[in-house]
Amino acid sequence: MSTQSLHKILTYGIAIVWIANGLFCKVLNLVPRHEQIVARILGNSHSRTLTLLIGLAEIGMAIWILSAFKTRWNAIAQIAIVGTMNTLEFFLAPDLLLWGKLNAFFAFLFMLAIYYHAFHLNKKN
């Protein structure tokens, strides 16, 4: 597989992760535990609204990824967001995570993929 093909596959794969979590899990509320996690971390009073806004931001992230605009800044933002989000969830809501505290391991792998995609495979930078 060529570097260009792997770059394209990772571009779409990473964008799909953001769209799936944003649109399906949060905006459409097909996975209610996402709202429960938001409620646990940010409080119950506006958890649905905040979950919706987070979901829309995740969809925006997918659009940014697909636009290929400022890809390294995008990767830095993604890594910071995923790292922060998973650290909070690890300590404040591990019982609500799909794989419990093991989620942190998968988040780390996702962050590595984002880094590799933006800083090693991207020939535009």
> What is the mean predicted confidence (pLDDT) over 38-64?
98
Long-range interactions of 106-114: CB distance < 8 A, separation 24+: 107/82, 107/83, 110/14, 110/17, 110/82, 111/78, 111/79, 111/82, 111/83, 113/10, 113/13, 113/14, 114/14, 114/75, 114/78, 114/79, 114/82
Residues 23-37 pLDDT 10s: 999 999 999 999 999
Q: How confident is the model at residue 7 (pLDDT cuts 50, 70, 90)?
A: very high
Predicted pLDDT at 57: 98
> Could you tell me the residue ranges of all domains in the chain?
3-118
